[in-house]
Structure 1
Amino acid sequence: MTTDELRFSYKKNHKRRRFALILAIVIMAGFLWTAVTAAGIVDYADEESARHSDAAIILGAAVAGDQPSLVFRARIDHAIMLYKQGTVGNLVFTGGSAGPGLPTEAEVGRDYALAQGVDPARIQIETESAVTEENLIYALAVGEAAGFQTYTIVSDPLHMRRSMKLAHQLGMDAAASPTRTSAYETWRTKLPFLARETVLTMGYTVKGWMSPSR
């Protein structure tokens, strides 16, 4: 090979090695970020505040007809416990309908709470939301109209970190109160939930970085 050919080959190989190194660093950084995010979600799962709030916001979950799913029931039961303890003064149920003519998650939650003896005057609902961010946005609008200023967010333990992150981004004066029981009891059921929460939490973090307000 000539000197020019050797020089060209060296530069080509050098570029390949540099690209491979950069790619390896990016992949390692991605794995590290994912691991740190997942660990933070698990660590936050036991975070709970005992403060009094004007209202508990119960994040919506699936329903079966006019009955809450096991996941949703655990959230409702926890909120009712807080209400009966006097930790929260009101309940705000969230969640829309899975289809035309079907009851909304919020309505099912309200009816369940009424059957447990909760004062109807202490219940507010929003029936438009489909995802966690909308749960909080619409619940905040309902709460502001009712004069609420402080909130306790009620959901499953592994759902709390993302929920609180969104609540704070919305400017809510919010505290966390994860359910003490959950349908996600074993790691076989927890891992898919954790994986989903990790991806969504990372997505909202990136969304925050790209926000024009930053």
Structure 2
Amino acid sequence: MMKNKKRVFVLLGVLVTLGLIYIGFLQFKISQYSHKDVPKNADYLIVLGARVKGTVPSLAFASRINAAADYLKKNKNTIVIASGGKGTSEDISEAESIRRELVEQGISEARIILEDQSTDTYENIKFSKRLIPKGERLGLVVTNNFHIYRAVSIARDYGLEVQGLPAETPWIAVPKSYSREYLAITKFYLKRYILD
């Protein structure tokens, strides 16, 4: 009986240790992609949508839009694809929310392309790829720092030459955002390396 209990505790200890190592690895990848130098004069940005409360972007979403606006103001020839469909509790599409906020910050509508059908990160990239003007090569994926590793990896899987433009994650959203992202990256790995 005691031997069985000991084995259970040893097994639990091993599983916990492996889990912590795995989380550490994921955090390393997220941090690695969040701290790369962002190139100037990218041909295009893809701003990934997030939750809209009515017509108002959530704090994390607003951070993405602000990061895109700052870049667009400094790089006048860069265009932007606003990507995101309309969720069930949203009054407007996430793409439209991006457009409105960018225009309010002084970005010309002529530089904004709407992609308003996507429902997840895979579709954000897949549908946005179709809208990239021919000849445009270097792109930046704009999303929160916790999401940048997976988003850029998916974009590269779709054959895009992209880097990440990370936006800060509001501290209040950090625990939930990172825990959900660890699960999302795990699902991404399963899809990429095992299921497909």
TM-score between the two structures when normalised by the length of structure 2:
0.84
Tell me the CA shift for residue 171 of structure 1: 1.1
* Structure 1 unmatched runs, 5+: 1-12
Match of 2:67 in 1: 78
RMSD of the TM alignment (CA)?
Answer: 2.8
Note if 1:132 corresponds to 2:116. no
Q: Is the 8 A contact 1:41 1:198 kept in 2?
A: no
User: What is the alpha-carbon distance in structure 2 between the residues aligned to residue 22 and residue 82 of structure 1?
Assistant: 49
Tell me the CA shift for residue 87 of structure 1: 6.8
Tell me the CA shift for residue 125 of structure 1: 0.9
**AA in 1 matched with 2:75:** G
User: What is the alpha-carbon distance in structure 1 between the residues aligned to residue 76 and residue 40 of structure 2?
Assistant: 7
Count of aligned positions: 193
Tell me the CA shift for residue 142 of structure 1: 1.4
Note if 1:191 corresponds to 2:180. no
> Which structure has the larger Rg over C-alpha atoms?
1
Q: Identity of aligned pairs, percent?
A: 24
**AA in 1 matched with 2:26:** T
Note if 1:152 corresponds to 2:140. yes
Note if 1:163 corresponds to 2:170. no
Tell me the CA shift for residue 20 of structure 1: 9.3
SS in 1 for 2:162: strand
Greater Cα shift, 191-200 or 121-130: 191-200
User: What is the alpha-carbon distance in structure 1 between the residues aligned to residue 53 and residue 37 of structure 2?
Assistant: 29
SS in 1 for 2:156: helix
Q: Is the 8 A contact 1:37 1:202 kept in 2?
A: no
Tell me the CA shift for residue 67 of structure 1: 2.5
Note if 1:109 corresponds to 2:93. no
- Once superposed, which parts of structure 1, at least 4 consecutive aligned residues long, lie more than 3 Å away? 17-31
**AA in 1 matched with 2:139:** Y
User: What is the alpha-carbon distance in structure 2 between the residues aligned to residue 19 and residue 64 of structure 1?
Assistant: 46
TM-score between the two structures when normalised by the length of structure 1:
0.77
* Structure 2 unmatched runs, 5+: none
Tell me the CA shift for residue 175 of structure 1: 1.2
Match of 1:10 in 2: none
